[in-house]
Structure 1
Amino acid sequence: MYLANMRKHWMLYLMALPGVAFYLVFKYVPLAGSIIAFQKYQIFKGILGSSWVGLDNFIYLFTYQDFYHVLRNTAVIALYQLIFGFPAPIILALLLNELRVMLAKRVIQSVFYLPHFLSWVVVGGIVFELLASQGVVNSIRGWFGLEPVLFMQEQAYFRTIVVISGIWKEVGWGTIIYLAAIAGINPNLYEVAVMDGANRWKQTLHITLPVMFPTILVLFLLNIGNFLELGFDQIFNLLTPMTYSVGDIIETYVYRAGVLQGQYSVTTAIGLFQSVIGFALLWTFNRLARKTEQGLW
């Protein structure tokens, strides 16, 4: 039965093959490398030649004072991004849905999509130029008689800059799925709501958002599963020596300890720790989501 189905729909299976190969090569095969978290890994001896140390790397990790500092920075920035960054594409999708001039809608969509295709090296350079002592922001402040502020060197502004730059770069791309969910709503629902006297706000509140809720919930669960994985590129390109105390996160610590200092076993233990925390959060919130008859499984 299964082979007959494959022969009948062989083109669909062929189309799915690159995606399956990607996950096998880049997601499942690297899982075997997690074993070095329990070894004193030496690159020239390899996995088979390195000695076993059990949980020593995890004990070192949890007794290392700087690790908790890095973990706190990661958790705080991740929480800010979840609170402010996650709703941003939902709000933008709702606003774009209210536009009735298609040309204006497409132009605005394209403007918001564009930053997604820029690398964080380019975006980081733009942020530094905008917030420089002679940059646009400080020039505007000067019009009001305010002194220039070195935003990129001030700890108080770093996390805000990270969140805002992340929203600016990805908010447009994040609206794609939400706009697709909105496009699937039956227009008759809106017509009935208008006949009942519902204004645009009530239509959004009682029709658009409830229909979007399953999509929002699934994307929220996927985000919460990667809660401690902020991404190396953004932080590394925005971080300065003066903001290390509030901006040094797990990924930048792994870069210094693993790539620069060769502590492969410890950094693998950190990665394994991130995965366990992510799975625990995903499982917990998925259990809560099942109470609304939604969830990933």
Structure 2
Amino acid sequence: MSNPVFSNSDVFGEPRRNGARQGARPGGTATAQPQYGQAAYGAGSTGSTGAQAADAASLENMYQAPSATTADTKRLTYDDVIIKTGGLLALLVVVAAVTWNTVPELWPIGMIAGLVLGLVNAFKKNPSPALIIAYTVAEGVFLGGISIAFAQIAVGSSGEPLTSVVLQAVVATMATFGAALFLFKSGKVRVTPKFTRWLLIAMVGYLAFSLINVVLTWTGVVDGWGLRSGPIGIIVGLVAVGLAAASLIMDFDSIKRGVEQGVPAKFAWSAAFGLIVTLVWLYLEILRILAILRGGD
């Protein structure tokens, strides 16, 4: 998996094929299950007529009762994921807007806090709503400040409102999200082992390139966008957007597998967190492309 939120999860990962079947003992012998009526009456037993009538009435009530839903069984549903993802996105936007208008210079603190909280949440076996919300707030502070920096580069001295660039990036992010969801739901793009290996290799290569670029920029070897300047920067940005879109498709597949396997409902927080991580990355890459296209080096 490309997204560590899902790849490190025991519930969203690929099912383990260890050859053991449900109800089987470690030695391979299936556990014998009592046949209906055997435990209550036994072979040759003569249960009372009243007990038999009560048992028949209980069975009738069970058959007449409505089927249990995923909400009744406290299992993960798509609605759970949608609601929690929407709530986290709303919180992210509100915090980013407040930071934009009040203390945009705090974005480095938000970046560091978001990185730490992101790693903590990604490697937790059980989701912590409080930590996930804290991560969302930190990312909101980071995005609120860094968006101004990118928008100022894109707009320059043209007098165009800074918010126009940010709105373009938001619309492009949502459009890419919608396209990835359509491709996944339509079956035009399938998550296969080959697809997973390709994405993993591409992600490692992109990460290595980004780290080298950061080191060269911070040490003053290159100026501006570093290795991501000009046409090369645009090409690299488009590749990054493609990788983020592919990562979204992987996220959708992980969530689908979690719902089908009936994982506990609490993991909707993990699913929402994973989607937020990918969407933040996608938004930043699109915003960077706009800044390079409109602001030059």
TM-score (norm. length: structure 2): 0.29
TM-score (norm. length: structure 1): 0.29
More helix by share: 1
| Max Rg structure | 2
